[in-house]
Structure 1
Amino acid sequence: MLLMGEDRIDEAVAHAAKVLRGAADRDWSVPAGGLDWTCLKTAEHIAGDFVAYAGQLTGRPTDAYVPFETALDDGTGPDGAIRVIEATGRMLAAVVRTTPRGVRAYHPYPCGSADAPGFAAMGVAEVLLHTYDIARALDIDAEPPASLCEAVLAHLFPHVPPAPSGGTPWTTLLWATGRGTLPGRPRLAHWRWHNAASLPAGPLALRQVTPAAAADLAAGGTGGLDWVDGGPFEGTRTAAVMVMKAYAAGVYRPEWGMYALIRTADELAVGGMGFHGPPDDNGCVEVGYDLAEGARGRGYATEALRSLSRWALDRAEVGTVLAVVDPANVASQGVATRAGFTRLPDRAPNLAFGLSRA
């Protein structure tokens, strides 16, 4: 189970508190490993991230961070700093637990906003990694449970290939954040995590499905979503398997992956849509889609296909969006036609429809 939520925050905070209490009697005025901050300042930073992320989800700004800071009282020592990490971590967990689906707030990477699972994942990443930074300086072990590392990687680092031979989820996370090395990979000097994007489409939003959510869908789960009757449909689960295969092979590019179609009026998922992979050398990218039976006949797929096609054709590397449809699937042919696609030479035994940049 790789989905991200308040339980992951609680697990990560408990891990950090246990690790750090093992070194509470040491000198926290020394610089944390790899940072300019002292260990005490790094602990303050962890707490500040927790409160800042909670503030983003409660204040819900769309273009900036909520303007406040968190600081330890003068004279606070290691024991007090650990208690502050525990308290602020629980604050973030409580906010994530009570934030309605669909709420997004400003965060710069990479699409300008994140949802509650995204802020939860960032909080988990911050506490795991900065606990490691402190532990390095104090010469103690800080390796977290592998399941936590896998969840962070599958949510925030979908562009990072999974652990190679000789690596683990923890060493992969350290490599992905410039803190370690992996066999056959150059050390990173610069890095960014990736929050799932949300694209508007009339009454819908197209929300990127992370490898974490795809794994749950592929295993028969909901992907962390609430679905209309009859969902998710078979095509959505098949697409989730494709995402997982690409992720496992280290070739997954999240922007050219899978999107859930969310009806914003009630935050119910009505279907799935996405690409079969990145654009080919000729600038052609193939799209596929399906709707749950309880959501058909309302124009949802057409609206979503228009929106996703516009997004794709705005990318310099795309010249044509291709839809390949079974001849017996008259409904899908109608979706493509209403979205502005025109017939192309058949891709036997299927029909082909294309939309090109004007």
Structure 2
Amino acid sequence: MADIGAERVTEAVASAVALLRTAVDRDWEAVRAGRLEWSCRQTATHIAEDLIAYAGQLAGRAQDAYVPFEITLEEGTDNAGIIQVVETTGVLLSTTVRATPRAVRAFHPYPFRSAGREGFAAMGVAEVLLHAHDIAEGLGLPYEPPAHLAEYVLTGIFPHVQPGPDHWRTLLWATGRGELPGRTPLTGWRWNNNLVLDTERLTLEGVSPAAAADLAAGGSGGFDWVVGGPYQGTRDASGMVLKAYEAGVHRPEFGLFVLVRREDDLAVGGVGFHGAPDEEGRVEIGYDLVEGVRGRGYATEALRGLADWALERDDVRTLFATIDRANIPSQGVVSRAGFTRASEDAEVLAYELGR
């Protein structure tokens, strides 16, 4: 999965440029781009602005705001020149995505104030495809990009949107640009980059539906794992994420997180929730580690970090974990993380941690 983001950016730009070239002799300034307030010319220029801005965020490792620069077209630039700028900025983003280390995150406001290279790639692809659609709609041209590009965007930065039978039309619906049978039209929307939480030695990285599908199928999910990883529990939890996503009930902040060791960027395990909190604010939590790294406190550290984050939310009042009576090490993990035993039966012990 290492270069998939760069490849998808390249493909998306090629798709949009092919459309724009069919209308290079049209008046882009006089025509409004679909449902937008911008003209087709402004919208095409905006595609390039987004691509270079995302490349700048990653290349500059911006942490608190957008890098303060913009591009300006030379006076007299015609439609062919704008197309050239879109192509060029597309290459800049794809090259930056490919060259950026996996662990790097940079500022983006929605919704957790950061994104990694795959997040910026998916946002770039979304901007290209959707604004190409806007231009096509304004000019009365047919446009439908390859379905796998829309799927890449949906499974990367729209984890809260239930997939439909047609990826492209689902993406148009999810961004207020179309209708889907059985779904209410949208007037407002945001994409959703994955949540990342830091602890002393670890980074807890939210798993997108795309990564979950890869893990559940036996892949790496885009992570480099220590020898022996990922553990089967992480693969099983990935399958749970995928089922929730397909059912339209997935809340990404209450999904699965992969534990990545900061010292070497290797994944060592997983931690996460079994679903969103219930009406009483109760939510179940679970975890696992690759066998070769157990006994070093990683599970306790990750559990504490995720518990602290969860209990600061208004919708969470109690965390609980169920552990086999025979699993003494796991009982030690929850106890060290502050959980106390709440109930038991012949096979299972239940632990809770409240505010």
Query: TM-score, normalized by length of structure 1?
Result: 0.96
In the alignment, which residue of structure 1 is the partner of 2:15? 15
Cα deviation code 1:244-272 (max 9, x no counterpart): 00000010000110001011111111101
- Alignment of structure 1 residues 106-125 onto 2, 5 Å: 106-125=107-126
In the alignment, which residue of structure 2 is the partner of 1:333? 331
Shift of 1:282: 2.1
Q: Aligned pair count?
A: 354
Return the letter of the residue paired with 1:11: E
8 Å Cα contact 1:3/1:151 also seen in 2: no
- Alignment of structure 1 residues 150-165 onto 2, 5 Å: 150-163=151-164
Shift of 1:71: 2.2
Structure 1 stretch displaced more, 73-82 or 211-220: 73-82
Shift of 1:349: 2.8
In the alignment, which residue of structure 1 is the partner of 2:260? 262
Where 1:286 maps in the other structure, the secondary structure is strand
Structure 1 stretch displaced more, 69-78 or 173-182: 69-78
8 Å Cα contact 2:2/2:222 also seen in 1: no
8 Å Cα contact 1:326/1:351 also seen in 2: yes
Q: Percent identity?
A: 60
Cα deviation code 1:96-125 (max 9, x no counterpart): 001112111111000011111110000000
- Alignment of structure 1 residues 10-89 onto 2, 5 Å: 10-29=10-29, 30-89=31-90
Return the letter of the residue paired with 1:278: A
| Deviation beyond 3 Å, 4+ runs, structure 1 | 1-4
1:250 aligns with 2:251: no
Judged with a 3 Å threshold, the aligned counterparts in structure 2 of structure 1 residues 2 and 150 are, in CA distance, closer, same or farther, namely: farther
Query: Which residue among 286, 290, 311 is the counterpart of 2:284?
Result: 286
In the alignment, which residue of structure 2 is the partner of 1:223? 221
Shift of 1:17: 1.2
Shift of 1:217: 0.4
Judged with a 3 Å threshold, the aligned counterparts in structure 2 of structure 1 residues 3 and 184 are, in CA distance, closer, same or farther, namely: farther
Q: CA RMSD, aligned part only?
A: 1.4
8 Å Cα contact 1:229/1:293 also seen in 2: no
Whole-Å Cα distance in 2 between the matches of residues 55 and 127 of structure 1? 17
In the alignment, which residue of structure 2 is the partner of 1:234? 232
Whole-Å Cα distance in 2 between the matches of residues 347 and 154 of structure 1? 40
Where 2:197 maps in the other structure, the secondary structure is strand
8 Å Cα contact 2:259/2:267 also seen in 1: yes
8 Å Cα contact 1:103/1:115 also seen in 2: yes
Return the letter of the residue paired with 1:161: Q
In the alignment, which residue of structure 2 is the partner of 1:318? 316
Cα deviation code 1:227-286 (max 9, x no counterpart): 111110000000000000000001000011000101111111110110000111222100
In structure 2, runs of 5+ residues without a counterpart are: none
In the alignment, which residue of structure 2 is the partner of 1:296? 294
Cα deviation code 1:120-176 (max 9, x no counterpart): 00000000000001111111111111111111001111001111xxx5111110111
Whole-Å Cα distance in 2 between the matches of residues 72 and 186 of structure 1? 40
Whole-Å Cα distance in 2 between the matches of residues 17 and 56 of structure 1? 24
In the alignment, which residue of structure 2 is the partner of 1:6? 6
Whole-Å Cα distance in 1 between the matches of residues 32 and 243 of structure 2? 41
Where 1:5 maps in the other structure, the secondary structure is helix
Return the letter of the residue paired with 2:18: K
- Alignment of structure 1 residues 150-229 onto 2, 5 Å: 150-163=151-164, 168-229=166-227
Judged with a 3 Å threshold, the aligned counterparts in structure 2 of structure 1 residues 328 and 17 are, in CA distance, closer, same or farther, namely: same
8 Å Cα contact 1:2/1:154 also seen in 2: no
Whole-Å Cα distance in 2 between the matches of residues 39 and 70 of structure 1? 17
Shift of 1:4: 4.9
Cα deviation code 1:281-334 (max 9, x no counterpart): 222100011011222111000000001011111111211111111122211111
Judged with a 3 Å threshold, the aligned counterparts in structure 2 of structure 1 residues 28 and 2 are, in CA distance, closer, same or farther, namely: farther
In the alignment, which residue of structure 2 is the partner of 1:101? 102
Shift of 1:347: 5.6
Whole-Å Cα distance in 1 between the matches of residues 354 and 345 of structure 2? 17
Where 1:183 maps in the other structure, the secondary structure is coil
Judged with a 3 Å threshold, the aligned counterparts in structure 2 of structure 1 residues 103 and 211 are, in CA distance, closer, same or farther, namely: same
In structure 1, runs of 5+ residues without a counterpart are: none
Whole-Å Cα distance in 1 between the matches of residues 248 and 200 of structure 2? 34
Whole-Å Cα distance in 2 between the matches of residues 131 and 294 of structure 1? 49
8 Å Cα contact 1:40/1:77 also seen in 2: no
1:143 aligns with 2:107: no
Cα deviation code 1:196-231 (max 9, x no counterpart): 111011100111000010000011100001111111
8 Å Cα contact 2:209/2:241 also seen in 1: yes
